[in-house]
Amino acid sequence: MRKNNSINTAQWAETHSKNQRRQFLKCASAMGLVGSSAFVHGLGAKSAIAAQTGGYKALVCINLKGGMDHADTLFPLDPNEFTDLTKVRQELFESYQFQLGDSSRNSDNLLSLDNQSDTSSEGRRFGLPAELVEVSNLFKQGDASIVANVGPLLEPTDRISMASGGLIPSRLYSHNDQQSTWQSLGTEGTRLGWGGSFAEVALTANPTARSLYASITAAGNDVFLASQNTPQFQLPIGQGNENLSILDKRYLIGSNSRFDEARRLLQSFFEQPDPLEQNLMSQDIASLTSRGLKNRAQYQSYLDSVPALTTPFPATKLGSQLAAVAQAISLRNVLNIPRQVFYVTLGGFDTHSSQSADLPEKHTELSMAISAFHKAMVEIDVWDDVTAFTMSDFGRTLSTNGNGTDHGWGAHHFVFGGSVDGGKIVGEVPEPKPDSSRFTERRARMIPTLSVEQYAASLGSWFGLDDEELNILFPNLVRFDPSRLALFTG
């Protein structure tokens, strides 16, 4: 009996270890650390992958975490409509001291977007705050557009349909859930993002491409780039071709030559073909760490093979991330990758208070960073082949809580690129009237008129996916206007 118990215990331990390993690998796969043999969910039944991957194209997602205030970003310039907005948001405008001549929220200081031509705006005029001057310039020269009132939707929705039991997305107004919904069409815990799926479809259409560099993050792992079979490559942050080897960073493993032997032994350990660890999970961790070090060393060799970009970037979080993305794009031919999806983030948009102090700083950081990125893309002659776009958890409430706003729903977003049909506001900008059916009855949250899926599908179409692939990835598209959201020329 003791012998049988011993055998059963040993078998249980082995099974438990294997189960733990499977769970670890499953989690690692979800984070893009390892791949699986499966293909993009739902596309397996497709007879052929039709994504067009000729030439080079890159999508750059700029996630503005916290929920950027749409009504404190895009302003109506009609005097009566502007006055309506100041009355609805009286305390917030007063915190900006908007009646003073040097206030960025004084109507005379707003940057007019007069050359817009989208018919849905019905001749109404809009402007951006002075902190977004570089964005305004890109808009005016035709290199940027604004997508108005976009957000998660299951079907066309307004206040009336909501009251009558219409379908609405789950867990609205929750940071984690709505960040996930924007990135993956599902609440927190959803495993696959549409950015990663775009990259995976493109790779399947071009199997000779280097899959390691198809989905690249400069902001850590997030669900946006998660896919069934394509890992996320963590882009080192730093301007120029600096040494990226972790083991060479003396602040990590000793600051003088006495620790060189430790560095050499650690390097030797990670380079061995078979880890000495007996524990399966320890083996996996060592293997993944070794692979990561090798990937960084390989990427370092690619960086060393090309000149560093000369375009200066601002020394900000977003500026540093976009500088790294720009340098990666400059390696596109060396990396042998015709399609890439990048992911960067900028936080701090959850402006429940101190909005008049905090939001202008965030606008400035976004504007300066995207301006430098545009110049870098022009420097390497790929601006027509790159599209950068923003997303955020949600917009903010039209009503205020003093010097701040609370979690909303729909929001306005920017799209940048040489192929963008620029100088337009695409979609509907509701007038700032809380009683309108375009706002929720409570807290006047803007109800989206364009869905995230419509927004994403337009980007995916430019990236090279066909209608069948897009309809599989975005199953709610059939509930909206069948025509594609027109964001690009041609």
> Do the beta carbons of residue 270 and residue 286 sit within 8 Å?
yes
State percent of the chain over pLDDT 70: 78
Whether the per-residue pLDDT at 154 is higher than 60: the answer is: yes
Closest listed residue to residue 458, CA positions, set 431, 481, 432, 435: 481
pLDDT in tens, 269-307: 666 666 555 665 555 555 555 556 677 888 988 998 888
Please tell me the predicted confidence (pLDDT) of residue 261. 73
Whether the per-residue pLDDT at 1 is higher than 90: the answer is: no
Between 155 and 2, the higher pLDDT residue: 155
Whether the per-residue pLDDT at 396 is higher than 70: the answer is: yes
Whether the per-residue pLDDT at 372 is higher than 60: the answer is: yes
Between 292 and 343, the higher pLDDT residue: 343
pTM score, two decimals?
0.84
Instruction: Kindly state the tokens that stand for 480.
Output: 């909206």
What are all long-range contacts of 279-283, with beta carbons under 8 Å and residues at least 24 apart?
279/17, 280/17, 280/18, 280/20, 280/21, 281/17, 281/20, 281/21, 281/24
> Do the beta carbons of residue 363 and residue 69 sit within 8 Å?
no
* Range among 208-212, 249-253, 254-258, 392-396 rated most confident: 392-396
CA distance 432 to 424: 20
The phi-psi region of residue 464 (left if phi > 0; otherwise alpha if psi is between -120 and 50; otherwise beta) is left
Read off the pLDDT of each residue in 410-433 and give the average, rounded to a whole number. 97
**Could you state, in order of their start, the residue ranges of all structural domains in the chain?**
48-240+313-479, 245-307
> Do the beta carbons of residue 412 and residue 152 sit within 8 Å?
no
Length of the chain: 490
Read off the pLDDT of each residue in 467-489 and give the average, rounded to a whole number. 92
CA distance 236 to 219: 9
Give the mean pLDDT of the chain.
Answer: 85
Between 309 and 292, the higher pLDDT residue: 309
pLDDT in tens, 12-59: 344 444 444 344 433 433 333 333 233 345 565 554 555 677 899 999
Read off the pLDDT of each residue in 463-481 and give the average, rounded to a whole number. 95
Lowest mean pLDDT among 28-37, 242-251, 380-389: 28-37
In this structure, CATH architecture of domain 48-240+313-479: 3-Layer(aba) Sandwich (3.40)
CA distance 204 to 383: 25
pLDDT in tens, 159-171: 999 999 999 999 9
Read off the pLDDT of each residue in 146-169 and give the average, rounded to a whole number. 96
pLDDT in tens, 433-460: 999 999 999 999 999 999 999 999 999 9
Lowest mean pLDDT among 170-184, 302-316, 385-399: 302-316
State percent of the chain over pLDDT 90: 70
Read off the pLDDT of each residue in 134-162 and give the average, rounded to a whole number. 97
Burial class (CB in 10 A: 0-12, 13-18, 19+), 342: buried
Cα radius of gyration (the chain)? 25
